[in-house]
Amino acid sequence: MTAYDKNLLANTFFIAGAKSLKDGGFITKAQLTDIRTKTPVLKSQGNILVRLGFLLLGILLYSSIVGAISLFAFTIFNISRYEWAIYVYAMVGAAGIEFFVRHDYFGYGLDDAFILGFLSMICLAIGINTESPTAAFAAMAVFGLVCCIRYVHTISALVGLIGITGFLCCLAFDLEVIPKLYVPFTGLLLAIAMYLFYHKTQHKPEAYFYKQALQVLQVFSLALGYASVNYLVIRELSVDWMGMEITPGNDIPLAWIFYILTFAIPIGYLWYALQIKSREMLLMGALALGCSVMTIRYYYSIMPPETALILAGMILFAVAYLLIRKLRHKESGITFGRDRHSDKNALLHAQAILVNSQINVKPAESGSGDMPFGGGGFSGGGASETY
């Protein structure tokens, strides 16, 4: 199934696990070095920044190769139909991936660039040559999943999932195979099917290499499930795509179901996440709840934004404080205690960087704002005009 040597791949995962044990303080640095020298692994890049850097270089390399080929091909063969040339570019990507796989590059950044380049080129080529978005989405779904399985590539899984969802939307809005009215429920059903697939496969031994791709599947299904029944999404889609007019006093059909689901789903996520101890689901639940509050604020502005912000701040503070008090001294299960594997400095540094993007300290000489220290840079909270 995979293009990589199974043993080397397993070793790579094993060493990553050993490193995480070292971060947790279970094994020493010397032990980690010892096992590293004993175990042959694939060339992979664990640090996300370095991987991004190589991704960038890979993209530059890919585009320069494509540029050089175009220069030759267009003049020598006198090609006038550029649409077909895109297939050639896609083939360059495919050849590049196979080259890197042969040389044992796995998640290094360079291979990512060629996989993503191949995917975007092949979908573009099919989309342009058939002039059909449905075909482009179908290509995304098929090639995304193939790349995900063959190259154990997580981002491809996301491409594939977007392809599947887009294909479904095309069936409804473009080809009109599915009645538009049922789109929300079809989306929800698709999300449930995806989640069930994730649930069934996550513990299977064959899925061992695909743990990250399955996590993407989980998060995607949760997001899709929420988005397909969110009141704002439904209402805007009804207006834009179905030409429905919503006058004051009127509402979309089955509005009460969507109101309930808009809040029931996030709360359900949060509750279930704590039951099964899933961090991804917890995060999605929190995000979805935030979106739900904004959805309601978008249509029914109960209080001015500043009051809402202050109140929300106070409520969140109280909730967090109470939860910390309750969980602070627990030694097992759900706790406020730090996991041995987590890094304290990372959170502090992230906050230190983030605070600057939120607090608007303007330069002294700009003179554009009369208030040098207004906190108006914050975009959340649903200020009604700018949402």
Partner 1 sequence: MYIWSTTTTNYLMDADQEAVARRLLDEDVISEKEFAEVKAYRSLAIFSLHNELQFLLYLSVLLFTTGAGILIYQNIDTIGHAVILALLLAVCGVCYYLSFKNSLGFSPEAIDFEHPVYNYLVLAATILSCIFIGYLQFQYRPFGAEISIPTFLSAAVALATAYCFDNRSALSIGLTGLAAAIGITVTPKALLENDFFDNPALFYYGIALGFVLIVWAEYSERTNLKKHFSLIFLVFAQHLICICSITGIFGDYWWLYAIFLAAATVYFYQKSHLLWSTAMFVFVLIYGYIGLNILLFKVFDLIAAYQFYEALTLLAPLYFIGSIFLFIRAIKQFNKKTDDSVR
Restricting to residues 125-184, name those near partner 1 by CB under 8 A. Answer: none
Q: What is the dihedral of CA 144, 149, 151, 156, to 10 degrees?
A: 30
**Counting contacts by CB under 8 A, is residue 31 touching partner 1?**
yes
- Within residues 365-384, the interface with partner 1 by CB under 8 A covers 365-367, 370-378, 380-381
Residues in contact with partner 1, shown as a per-residue x/- string from 344 to 363 under the rule CB under 8 A: -xxxxx-xxxxxxxxxxxxx
Query: Among residues 135 and 158, whose Cβ is nearest to partner 1?
Result: 158
Query: Among residues 9 and 234, whose Cβ is nearest to partner 1?
Result: 9
Q: What is the dihedral of CA 266, 197, 161, 169, to 10 degrees?
A: -70
Q: From CA 35, how far away is CA 18, in angstroms rounded?
A: 8
Residues in contact with partner 1, shown as a per-residue x/- string from 181 to 210 under the rule CB under 8 A: ----------------------x----x--
Lookup: tokens for 52:
């991004």
Amino acid at 372: P
DSSP letters, 166-223, are HHHHHHHHTS--S-GGGHHHHHHHHHHHHHHHHHHHTTSGGGGGGHHHHHHHHHHHHH
Q: Which of 2, 5, 8, 35 binds partner 1 (CB under 8 A)?
A: 35
List all residues 6 or more positions away from 55 whose beta carbon is below 8 Å from its beta carbon.
109, 110, 112, 113
Smallest separation, CB 262 to partner 1 (Å): 21
Q: Which stretch binds partner 1 (CB under 8 A): 24-32, 125-133, 176-184, 190-198?
A: 24-32
Query: Among residues 180 and 340, whose Cβ is nearest to partner 1?
Result: 340
CB 266 within 8 A of CB 289: yes
- Within residues 302-321, the interface with partner 1 by CB under 8 A covers 304-317, 319-321
Query: Among residues 62 and 231, whose Cβ is nearest to partner 1?
Result: 62
Q: Which stretch binds partner 1 (CB under 8 A): 38-46, 81-89, 217-225, 242-250?
A: 38-46
List all residues 6 or more positions away from 33 whose beta carbon is below 8 Å from its beta carbon.
none
Residues in contact with partner 1, shown as a per-residue x/- string from 319 to 348 under the rule CB under 8 A: xxx-xx--x---xxxxxxxxxxxxx-xxxx
Q: What angle do CA 149, 152, 156 make, to 5 degrees?
A: 75
- Within residues 39-58, the interface with partner 1 by CB under 8 A covers 45-50, 53-54, 57-58
